[in-house]
Amino acid sequence: MWHRGEWRARYRFHTVALPSGDQVDLAVPRWFLEELVEPAQYRDQWNELRYDWSGPEPVDITGPPPEGGWYVPLALVAAHTDGKACCLTEWAANRRQCWGNYKTPGDQELQMIERAVRLRDQAKQFNRPDEPMSQEALEDCRKVQFEKKQKYDEDRAYHYKMIVEGFMHTMGDLITSDDPTLHRWGKYHFLSGHSKSGLTLIK
């Protein structure tokens, strides 16, 4: 993985400083399940998000896109205590990930892989990840994206509407009235008769 301007071991457990000044990353002795993402799936977006342009000079935050494919972590194969209490304890004590105890991959991991393959094969449209998407698949993606954007806009409009209605309910009278007692004491001031100047109490 790309970390602070250099490639480092993804599952780094400890880093050893050598007398020469070099550093060696030690990986945790565990099995991991990973998914291969083909370059065609990530190369363009990777390059778009590669640099941070907020400072005086661009900062390379992701490094160059991997040319031979990018492996994405799916699952750690390890034995944990019931309810993963060991994970909570490790985070509370050391603020770091719990790696559990060593476990050989078995039926549980095979079932996980079989399910992932089954869901892939049952997809409505299946394109090889290293091939361009079909026009029909692209149209479906655009439709889904449009529906998500429309739902987001509707939710945001409703949110702002509730903010305005809440403000007008509590502060609307202060804006629309020239009554100084209302401005001074608020909407629920004493309702005895008074002049709008606020100086003479009307008996």
Task: Name the domain count of the chain.
Answer: 1
In a domain, 188, yes or no: no
Mean pLDDT score of the chain, rounded to an integer?
Answer: 77
In a domain, 163, yes or no: no
**Residue 77 — very low, low, confident or very high, per pLDDT cuts 50/70/90?**
very high
The answer, yes or no, to whether residue 181 has pLDDT greater than 70, is: no
User: What single string gives the DSSP state of each residue in the chain?
Assistant: -EETTEE--TTEEEEEE-TTS-EEEEEPS-EEEEEEE-HHHHHHHHHHTSEE-SSSS-EESS-SPPTT-EEEEEEEEEE--GGGHHHHHHHHHHSS----EE----HHHHHHHHHHHHHHHTSSS---TTSPPPHHHHHHHHHHHHHHHHHHHHHHHHHHHHHHHHHHHHHHHHHH---HHHHHH-TT---S-B-TTSSSB--
In a domain, 54, yes or no: yes
In a domain, 166, yes or no: no
Q: 77: domain range?
A: 2-130
In a domain, 135, yes or no: no
169 closest CA partner among 187, 184, 183: 187
Write the pLDDT tens digit of every residue in 157-180.
887 788 777 766 666 666 666 666
Q: For residues 96 and 11, is the Cβ–Cβ distance under 8 A? A: no
In a domain, 50, yes or no: yes
36 closest CA partner among 130, 131, 114: 130
Q: What is the pLDDT of residue 54?
A: 83
In a domain, 118, yes or no: yes
In a domain, 138, yes or no: no
The answer, yes or no, to whether residue 100 has pLDDT greater than 80, is: yes
Q: For residues 34 and 74, is the Cβ–Cβ distance under 8 A? A: yes
Q: What is the mean pLDDT of residues 55-77?
A: 84
Q: What is the mean pLDDT of residues 97-125?
A: 84
Query: Which has more pLDDT, 190 or 19?
Result: 19
Q: For residues 49 and 36, is the Cβ–Cβ distance under 8 A? A: no
Residue with tokens 């020239």: 178
Q: For residues 102 and 29, is the Cβ–Cβ distance under 8 A? A: yes
Q: What is the pLDDT of residue 168?
A: 67
Q: What is the mean pLDDT of residues 48-67?
A: 83
Q: For residues 67 and 39, is the Cβ–Cβ distance under 8 A? A: yes
Q: Return d(Cα 38, Cα 61) in angstroms, integer.
A: 21
Q: What is the pLDDT of residue 61?
A: 81
Q: Kindly give, in sequence order, each residue whose CB lies less than 8 Å from that of residue 140, ignoring residues fewer than 6 positions away.
A: 124, 125
